[in-house]
Amino acid sequence: MWSAAFDPQVITVRAFPPSRDGGYIRDLANEAVRIVDDEAGEHLWINRGGNLIRLDLIEGRVSAGPASLHFDLPDDCHLELRLTVIRSLVTARPAPGRNTRLAGRLRALQAADARAAGASLRDIADALFGPGHWPGDGEHRKSLVRRLVATGKQMVRSGPRAVLIEKSG
């Protein structure tokens, strides 16, 4: 588990319900994000085109929907590093590129390999996305893993070209 207590690139955050005071509202529903929930709160791992951003929520939740984020920034020797991480969070997200698509294909192959080795769908979900609720809201995690396994099996049957070929559209 990542933690702001040990890594200065992990940002401590408080999440509040959206307000009409003109503050910026962050909705992570469309982000490539992994949320791990434990007794300390939510821990977020956000992938922005290969740039990884890690947040520790010490108050509030972002999994419930849009939130106004308030960053806790100690004035210490890591301040500039933390500001750089926050800048990468608030700047526009780059469009998914080839590396993002290849990462998705790799994830599908990993899921298919794990299933062939006898892993359960839940074990595969935990390995690929971290621990989470099973089967999840609307069985989201379970359905996602099933699709990944099916995609991975199809790529294996189709050979290496299926993994490397660029699809348009």
Angle formed at CA 93 by CA 110 and CA 16, multiple of 5 degrees:
100
Residue 27's beta-bridge partner residues?
Answer: none
Q: Are 120 and 59 part of one and the same domain? A: no
Residues 66 and 15: beta-carbon distance below 8 Å: no
Residue 166 lies in a domain: no
55 falls within a domain: yes
- Report CA torsion sign: 73, 78, 83, 89: negative
- pTM for this one? 0.51
What pLDDT score was predicted for residue 115? 96
Q: Does one domain contain both 127 and 85?
A: no
Q: Residue 54: in which H helix or E strand, if any?
A: strand 51-59
Of 75, 91, 107, the residue at which a domain comes to its end is 91
Domain end position, chosen among 60, 91, 122: 91
Range of the domain at 114: 98-159
Q: Is the pLDDT of residue 95 over 50?
A: no
Residue 45, pLDDT score: 85
Digit-coded pLDDT (tens) for 31-82: 778 888 888 888 888 877 667 888 999 998 888 778 888 899 999 988 998 8
Query: Taking 80 as the threshold, does the pLDDT of residue 168 lie above it?
Result: no
- Same domain assignment for residues 110 and 133: yes
Assigned domain for 164 exists:
no
What does the pLDDT read at residue 9? 85
168 inside domain = no
pLDDT band per the 50, 70, 90 thresholds, residue 103:
confident
| Range 76-105 average pLDDT | 75
The domain boundary residue, chosen from 36, 63, 91: 91
Assess contact for 14 and 69: CB atoms under 8 A: yes
Phi-psi region of 98 (alpha: psi -120 to 50; beta: other; left: phi over 0): alpha
Question: Structural domain tally of the chain?
Answer: 2
111 assigned to some structural domain: yes
For the segment 125-162, what is each residue's pLDDT rounded down to a tens digit? 888 877 777 766 657 788 889 999 999 999 999 888 77
pLDDT of residue 169: 43
Burial of 43 (0-12, 13-18, 19+ CB in 10 A): buried
Closest listed residue to residue 31, CA positions, set 57, 10, 49, 55: 49
